[in-house]
Amino acid sequence: MEKLFSKYESPNLRLKNKIVMSPMSRYSSDENGFPSDELINYYISRAKNGVGLIMIEAASIDSTYSKSYMNGLGFYSEEHSDVWKPIVEKIKSYGASVFIQLYHAGRLTTPNVCGSIPISSSALCPMKQRSHLMNLIEGKSYHFQGNDEFVTPKEMDIDQIIDIQNKFVSSCKFACESGFDGIDLHGAHGNLIHQFSNRITNKRTDKYGKDQYLFITELIDKCRNVIPANIVLSLRLSQHMVDFSFIRFSKKDLDFEEIVKRTESKVDVYNCSEVVAGKPMFGNTKTLTEEIRSYTNKTIITSGLNNDVELAETLLNSGGSDLIGFGRLLISNPNLVELIKDKNYNKIVPYNHSFHSNFVF
């Protein structure tokens, strides 16, 4: 594991190793999006146990439409920023860097969760597929917490689009004030940014439909304008969606080359979420990491159901991945870094959804 435990340096990112804690929603915050003591300790313990980069889970940019989860993390006020300042400082005291991920759910929420009819790029109901977010019962999809059915969202008007972009910008400002080393914009998994960028979920007839990448282009530009050069701007990308895991690769539907072309001058890190790390996208011979690497030399994080810890070294040696994200194994093993370092692979506790999804430790 020589490469995994070597330092990583880029112009504005210096890490003690190449291990990243992937952003994973734990729904362990209060009704206003403030983290519980258990959630705070959960992140601090991973930093204390040697993770190089901690990515704080997806935080909603408002208290309504952007929320995918009940008791999900929020980050949209001065109060949120103030709460996170000492947490960020504590995480850094253990030699880890720390990013926060910002998101808007778009159509991937329900009225019981967000308080109203959801909004999206287009008035298209989510696909019906069982996932961590959805329970599928007799052909209908229900939110795993709210227990209400996913519904057809309202298509956003121009004023709403501008408002959402400005909320992302505001949350970015608060993140900078909190001392985060970076901000990860969640453009993956079928959330709102992804909904605009993919032709399958964007059927608009206005300028945001004629140019499906206009929303993400404007958003990246606006956010970068308020993020200092020494703070990393990361963009999370995926082919798959929470409600459509087996979506096939199509440059007509989602052209990663075009996304990189439009964002590379502003983005420092591409955070690539693969269905299974190291496996090609459906309908393509390349992995997502390989696809993105063919268009940029910027830092790439690779993650995705990475349960084979030895695979991490292989991916780093391939030349495509710069950093490796671990998700579920860092939920079930706070000391995962030490276990990998000492090659105690037999002591790694497998992630168990029915057990580990219900609490943080």
Give me the amino acid identity at 248.
R
CA 79/CA 77 separation, integer angstroms: 5
Residue 72 contacts residue 117 (beta carbons within 8 Å) = no
CA 211/CA 301 separation, integer angstroms: 27
pLDDT of residue 359: 66
Q: In tens digits, what is the pLDDT along the chain, a chain of 361 residues?
A: 899 999 999 999 999 999 999 999 999 999 999 999 999 999 999 999 999 999 999 999 999 999 999 999 999 999 999 999 999 999 999 999 999 999 999 999 999 999 999 999 999 999 999 999 999 999 999 999 999 999 999 999 999 999 999 999 999 999 999 999 999 999 999 999 999 999 999 999 999 999 999 999 999 999 999 999 999 999 999 999 999 999 999 999 999 999 999 999 999 999 999 999 999 999 999 999 999 999 999 999 999 998 888 999 999 999 999 999 999 999 999 999 999 999 999 999 999 877 777 667 7
Fold that domain 8-111+157-356 belongs to in CATH: TIM Barrel (3.20.20)
Phi, psi of 256 (to 5 degrees): -65, -30
CA 35/CA 71 separation, integer angstroms: 9
The set of residues, in sequence order, having a beta carbon less than 8 Å from that of 188 and lying 6+ positions away, is: 194, 236, 237, 238, 271, 273
Domain extents in the chain: 8-111+157-356
Residue 75 contacts residue 59 (beta carbons within 8 Å) = yes
Global pTM exceeds 0.85:
yes
CA 243/CA 338 separation, integer angstroms: 35
pLDDT of residue 358: 65
Q: Which among 269, 160, 166, 261 is positioned nearest to 217, based on CA atoms?
A: 261
